[in-house]
Chain A
Amino acid sequence: MPFTWLVLILLAIAAIGFVLGRGRALKSAGGDRRDLHSLPVYYGANVAMWAIVPAAAVLIIWMLAQPFFVNSRVLATLPGAVVSEGSSIGLVMSDVRRVADGLDVAVQQGAMSRDEAASLSTDTSDVRERLGEVGVALGSAVSADVLKGAQLYRTLNATSSKLMTVVVLLIALGGAAYAYSRSHADFRARNTVERGILALLIAAASVAILTTIGILFALLFNTIEFFKLYPAADFFFGTNWAPSFSGRGGSSDLGVLPLLWGTFYISFIALLVAVPVGLFSAIYLSEYAGPKVRSVAKPLIEILAGIPTIVYGLFALLTVGPMLVSMFGKDTLGWMQGGTAVMTAGLVMGIMLIPFVSSLSDDIINAVPQAMRDGSYGLGATKSETIRQVILPAALPGIVGAILLAASRAIGETMIVVLGAGAAARLSLNPFEAMTTITAKIVSQLTGDADFASPEALVAFALGMTLFVLTLGLNVFALYIVRKYREQYD
């Protein structure tokens, strides 16, 4: 039975259970819903919950466990000789799976009967050719052992699926029946359903957390893999970034320092632009602007945050770069060789970050209580004295937090760098030279035909890990600052 059908039947059981459970509870109260402990809908929901949740849990676990079980059974039947001929167990098993899938396709298309697929033997027919006819291309002739393995694989999967369907449906019916039998007027259905909802909420929260942990481990393992191939000291302290794609490893220099330097330099320039502009516009908007100006200006500034970064990249490449060249290029000062430079990317990234700084700071400044302003005005302070000496100090922790968040965004920015700053990894103080950042290099290391066993590709994970640690550190620091210096107004 196809999987969709199973799910639909489960839902149907739940729906019927809902109606029945609700009806039984109502009946037990003599049709008067005021005699029920909970609203009738809770009794129905309770039955539906009992029908679906345990069955779905078993279904998920079964589907996760089935491949492991089938693989180990098939492996056990394969003679050791097959494995030693081939290079590894994994390769043999993937052969088995491909043949099994091929047989499935053949049966589905009607090129083979079910029995034929099960009893097929390498002695009587050329399996490779017959599978080729239905569009399944195999790399080599199928050995007898592999074919037997594939047939066992198919039968095991089929029985397991049948068994799963039966078990899941039984559990669903059992759960529904159990909950149905408890649908009495004095049963606390509301509390049970609410506990169910709580479990759902916890599950949702765990998905986010577990995904983060998963990503972290994926990064970590690949990073460890990289450091097995490439010495960590050379990575962290190397001042030269020159990956070679021709030779396999060895000849590459993969020092992270030029990339780190580029990342920090560009982010620094971006913050130099974004922090004053953003902060001043926040002060204007929150303290001086009238409600009309504010209602127009604030959304306009926030539109900046909605522009895709690739558009900023184009802006850097086509507008800001040439403009800077005309100001600092060969014809005038001679500082700048081409349009792509740290300055170009930094300026454009700074523009991108303005709404971050301004919007967050604006909220924070608005959160400073009116009593502070009144107190200051009451002492004869002017508006600007009040802002400088009372409001900004009170809002400072939040503003620092906003700036650090903007900084971690700057460090993680990719597209603007790719288009605006060039691709040359370089350690230089001149902001008019092309440089590149960690993120841009991750992109260039992994695009094209990447061989994930070579240090040139794996270095991307080490770079990613470095970046992750950097931004995480920055965020933690931001939180620490905000917590430590947060003022309690009440």
Chain B
Amino acid sequence: MNDMRIAERKVDTNEVKIAAKDVQVYYGDNHAIKDVSVEIEDKTVTAFIGPSGCGKSTFLRCINRMNDTIDVCRVTGDIMIDGEDIYDAKVDPVQLRAKVGMVFQKPNPFPKSIYDNVAYGPKIHGLAKNKADLDNIVENALRRGAIWDEVKDRLHAPGTGLSGGQQQRLCIARAIATEPEVLLMDEPCSALDPIATAQVEELIDELRKSYSVVIVTHSMQQAARVSQKTAFFHLGHLVEYGETTTIFTNPVDPRTESYITGRIG
């Protein structure tokens, strides 16, 4: 079935960036993700929706192997980025995470200056040749994070002193600074007010030009606003995956319909 859809979409869209096949995730004895296969495209915003505990965040964290930091977590199946199996023994998860950036639910700037927050990744990965180069990277990241104008006069003020929405955009800029190819966002707006949310959503749309963006969200309106593709997860299964407009207007699966019309979830 999946293959058919891809064939349909080839017309208007980009190549596949992330391909997951038969992914299973266990937390100890708990089978959290069951048989998830999905193909996520480049330069597209893909939204994962579903009720709490359905496994959408867990699956997101598989894509940059953040689940490796949890001892009891076990992942089987294949996840390929650009045709390369990221769970292969020769892949260093640290290198992978530089390529697959992540933005978290709660803004988590480091207790450092705004500048150092953004420069953190580039410094670790040796992306800057010298100070001027680093300044450039930081400025570019902050500009693309749509926060440059607000912080350019206080780059050396602590990042924790910003407002919630600014902090989240700082975290996005921080993730962009390492020049990732994929950007994972785990409910990036759930701790933000509507105005900050609008700013971040605008930014996500902007980021689509350069990255493959995967966003987990609880808000169906948000999924409808920002994404081109939507995947609906329920109880660890990927129930339905397709064009956002299709999912929201003409879902195939009755569970999807129940969820988006508010009968379950």
Residues of A bordering B, CB below 8 Å: 290, 369, 371-382, 385, 389-390, 393-394, 487-489
In the bound complex, do residue B120 and residue A376 qualify as a contact, i.e. CB atoms below 8 Å apart? yes
Binds A, one of B10-18, B99-107, B226-234: B99-107
What are the residues of chain A within 8 A of B247 when measuring CB–CB?
Answer: none
In the bound complex, do residue A385 and residue B108 qualify as a contact, i.e. CB atoms below 8 Å apart? no
In the bound complex, do residue B104 and residue A375 qualify as a contact, i.e. CB atoms below 8 Å apart? yes
In the bound complex, do residue A379 and residue B98 qualify as a contact, i.e. CB atoms below 8 Å apart? yes
What are the residues of chain A within 8 A of B103 when measuring CB–CB?
Answer: 378
What are the residues of chain A within 8 A of B265 when measuring CB–CB?
Answer: none
Interface size class of B (residues with CB under 8 A): 20 to 34
Q: Quick one: closest B residue to A390, CB to CB?
A: B110
In the bound complex, do residue B110 and residue A375 qualify as a contact, i.e. CB atoms below 8 Å apart? yes
A369 to B160, CA, bound (A): 13
In the bound complex, do residue B66 and residue A379 qualify as a contact, i.e. CB atoms below 8 Å apart? no
The listed residue (A372, A378, A393, A489) touching B97 by CB distance below 8 A is A378
B214 interfacial contact with A, CB 8 Å: no
Shortest A377–chain B CB gap in Å is: 6
The listed residue (B101, B108, B124, B174) touching A372 by CB distance below 8 A is B108
**Chain B stretch 93-143: residues in CB contact (< 8 A) with chain A:** 94-99, 101-104, 106, 108-112, 120-121, 124-125
In the bound complex, do residue A379 and residue B108 qualify as a contact, i.e. CB atoms below 8 Å apart? no
B250 interfacial contact with A, CB 8 Å: no
Shortest A261–chain B CB gap in Å is: 38
What are the residues of chain A within 8 A of B125 when measuring CB–CB?
Answer: 380
In the bound complex, do residue A379 and residue B174 qualify as a contact, i.e. CB atoms below 8 Å apart? yes
B69 interfacial contact with A, CB 8 Å: yes
B178 interfacial contact with A, CB 8 Å: yes
Q: Quick one: closest B residue to A380, CB to CB?
A: B98
Shortest B62–chain A CB gap in Å is: 13
Number of A-B contacts (CB under 8 A): 73
A488 to B110, CA, bound (A): 11
Given the interface contacts A373-B69, A487-B160, does A378 sit within 8 Å of B64 by beta carbon?
A: yes
Residues of B bordering A, CB below 8 Å: 64, 66, 69, 71, 94-99, 101-104, 106, 108-112, 120-121, 124-125, 160, 171, 174-175, 178
What are the residues of chain A within 8 A of B69 when measuring CB–CB?
Answer: 373-374, 377
A478 to B7, CA, bound (A): 66
A369 to B106, CA, bound (A): 11
In the bound complex, do residue B111 and residue A394 qualify as a contact, i.e. CB atoms below 8 Å apart? yes
Shortest A127–chain B CB gap in Å is: 80
Q: Quick one: closest A residue to B105, CB to CB?
A: A371
Q: Quick one: closest B residue to A369, CB to CB?
A: B108
A3 to B116, CA, bound (A): 72
Q: Quick one: closest A residue to B102, CB to CB?
A: A378
The listed residue (B71, B108, B175) touching A371 by CB distance below 8 A is B108
In the bound complex, do residue A393 and residue B108 qualify as a contact, i.e. CB atoms below 8 Å apart? no
Q: Quick one: closest A residue to B99, CB to CB?
A: A380
In the bound complex, do residue A394 and residue B108 qualify as a contact, i.e. CB atoms below 8 Å apart? no
The listed residue (B112, B121, B171, B174) touching A393 by CB distance below 8 A is B112
In the bound complex, do residue A380 and residue B160 qualify as a contact, i.e. CB atoms below 8 Å apart? no
In the bound complex, do residue A379 and residue B124 qualify as a contact, i.e. CB atoms below 8 Å apart? yes
In the bound complex, do residue A381 and residue B94 qualify as a contact, i.e. CB atoms below 8 Å apart? yes
A290 to B70, CA, bound (A): 12
In the bound complex, do residue B110 and residue A380 qualify as a contact, i.e. CB atoms below 8 Å apart? no
What are the residues of chain A within 8 A of B109 when measuring CB–CB?
Answer: 375
In the bound complex, do residue A374 and residue B104 qualify as a contact, i.e. CB atoms below 8 Å apart? yes
A381 to B175, CA, bound (A): 12
Q: What are some 25 contacts across the A-B interface (CB < 8 A)?
A: A369-B108, A371-B108, A374-B69, A374-B102, A374-B104, A375-B174, A377-B66, A377-B97, A378-B104, A379-B97, A379-B102, A379-B120, A379-B121, A380-B121, A380-B125, A380-B178, A381-B94, A381-B120, A381-B124, A389-B120, A390-B110, A390-B120, A394-B111, A488-B160, A489-B111
